[in-house]
């Protein structure tokens, strides 16, 4: 596999260096930008495979840069958000960021999310394309055959409605990534759907009743407060 390049836009030098060290250790080439302007220049110049983007930045802030990058490219964007600032996560995802980690984060978490995002973006037909034929997703006894439109739990067939199936497949394919209700509505019901975000909640509840050992204390499809839902395994 060719070396992949990650651009890190972060003005706090110790965080930047820690991220650089850990990503280089994982075999990535790392470019660093201490402010938003430089981040924009480097993205245009070096066409990185992924951008790690802090929100509070001198010159151009992370939201503004995210907005510009989204207009210009499909590069995956991982946002660094501050603890307790739920609004940052929502705005970041709405602006087109692909995922986020909340400060203070562990380097292990960051590396896992970077790796997941890069894996998703490497699918031949593009990052938001449907999965390849006969792709079977399998996590902790839960098996979803996207092509065959069937699911099994611990080897037993798991009947579900088409929309439940699509929701489960979407979340599983993007394990570790949070989706807002609006994003889920768009993906599953289409842009034209004039719907209520609670539709998503209802489908998540039905899914939980089928796949969670304790539906009232979900561990597979978790609720991210102020954001939406994430499949954790
Ligand atoms: Ca900062």
Per-residue pLDDT tens over the stretch 47-77: 999 999 999 999 899 999 999 998 888 899 9
Q: Give distance in angstroms: CA of 9 to centre of ligand 1.
A: 9
Question: Would residue 143 count as lying in a domain?
Answer: yes
Q: Which residues contact 17 (CB under 8 A, 6 or more apart)?
A: none
Q: Which residues contact 214 (CB under 8 A, 6 or more apart)?
A: none
3-state SS assignment for residue 32: strand
For the record, the structure tokens of 54 come out as 């802090």
Q: Give distance in angstroms: CA of 102 to centre of ligand 1.
A: 12
Same domain, 117 and 203: no
Q: Give distance in angstroms: CA of 80 to centre of ligand 1.
A: 9
Same domain, 9 and 117: yes
Q: Which domain holds residue 227?
A: 136-231
Same domain, 116 and 27: yes
Q: Which of 94, 121, 148 is the last residue of a domain?
A: 121
Q: Give distance in angstroms: CA of 227 to centre of ligand 1.
A: 22
Mean pLDDT computed over every residue of the chain: 86
Number of domains, the chain: 2
Question: Would residue 131 count as lying in a domain?
Answer: no
Q: Give distance in angstroms: CA of 44 to centre of ligand 1.
A: 21
Residue with more model confidence, 99 or 77: 77
* Predicted local confidence at residue 125, as pLDDT: 45
Decide: 83 and 57 in contact? Cβ < 8 Å: no
Q: Give distance in angstroms: CA of 210 to centre of ligand 1.
A: 42
Question: Would residue 128 count as lying in a domain?
Answer: no
Q: Give distance in angstroms: CA of 198 to centre of ligand 1.
A: 34
Q: Give distance in angstroms: CA of 228 to centre of ligand 1.
A: 25
- Digit-coded pLDDT (tens) for 117-138: 898 776 544 444 444 444 788 8
Q: Which of 64, 92, 121 is the last residue of a domain?
A: 121
Same domain, 42 and 107: yes
User: Whole-angstrom Cα distance, residue 36 to residue 57?
Assistant: 6
Same domain, 116 and 140: no
Q: Give distance in angstroms: CA of 54 to centre of ligand 1.
A: 6
The CATH number of the domain holding residue 211 is 1.10.10.10
For the record, the structure tokens of 191 come out as 């842009």
Question: Would residue 68 count as lying in a domain?
Answer: yes
Question: Would residue 130 count as lying in a domain?
Answer: no
* Predicted local confidence at residue 193, as pLDDT: 59
Q: Give distance in angstroms: CA of 157 to centre of ligand 1.
A: 48
Same domain, 82 and 22: yes
User: Whole-angstrom Cα distance, residue 121 to residue 180?
Assistant: 20
Q: Which residues contact 135 (CB under 8 A, 6 or more apart)?
A: 145, 146, 147
Q: Give distance in angstroms: CA of 62 to centre of ligand 1.
A: 9
Q: Which of 121, 151, 183 is the last residue of a domain?
A: 121
- Digit-coded pLDDT (tens) for 164-214: 898 999 999 888 889 999 889 888 877 555 667 788 898 999 999 999 999
Task: Find the angle CA(135)-CA(2)-CA(28) to the nearest 5 degrees.
Answer: 100
Cis (ω within 30 of 0) for the bond into 104? Answer: yes
């Amino acid at each position: 596999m060719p070396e992949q390049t990650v651009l890190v836009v972060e003005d706090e030098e110790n965080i930047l260096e820690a991220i650089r060290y850990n990503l280089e250790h994982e075999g990535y080439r790392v470019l660093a930008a201490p402010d938003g302007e430089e981040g924009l220049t480097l993205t245009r110049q070096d066409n990185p495979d992924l951008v790690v983007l802090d929100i509070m930045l001198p010159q151009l802030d992370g939201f503004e840069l995210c907005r510009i990058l989204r207009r210009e490219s499909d590069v995956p964007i991982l946002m660094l958000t501050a603890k307790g600032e739920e609004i940052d996560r929502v705005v970041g995802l709405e602006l087109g960021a692909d995922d986020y980690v909340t400060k203070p984060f562990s380097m292990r978490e960051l590396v896992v999310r970077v790796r997941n995002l890069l894996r998703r973006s490497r699918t031949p037909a593009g990052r938001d394309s449907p999965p390849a034929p006969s792709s079977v997703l399998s996590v902790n006894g839960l098996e979803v055959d996207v092509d065959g439109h069937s699911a099994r739990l611990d080897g037993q067939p798991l009947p579900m409605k088409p929309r439940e199936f699509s929701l489960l497949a979407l979340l599983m394919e993007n394990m570790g990534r949070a989706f807002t209700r609006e994003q889920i509505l768009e993906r599953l019901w289409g842009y034209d759907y004039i719907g209520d975000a609670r539709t998503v909640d209802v489908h998540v509840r039905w899914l939980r009743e089928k796949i969670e050992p304790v539906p009232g204390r979900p561990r597979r499809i978790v609720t991210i407060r102020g954001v939406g839902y994430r499949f954790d395994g």
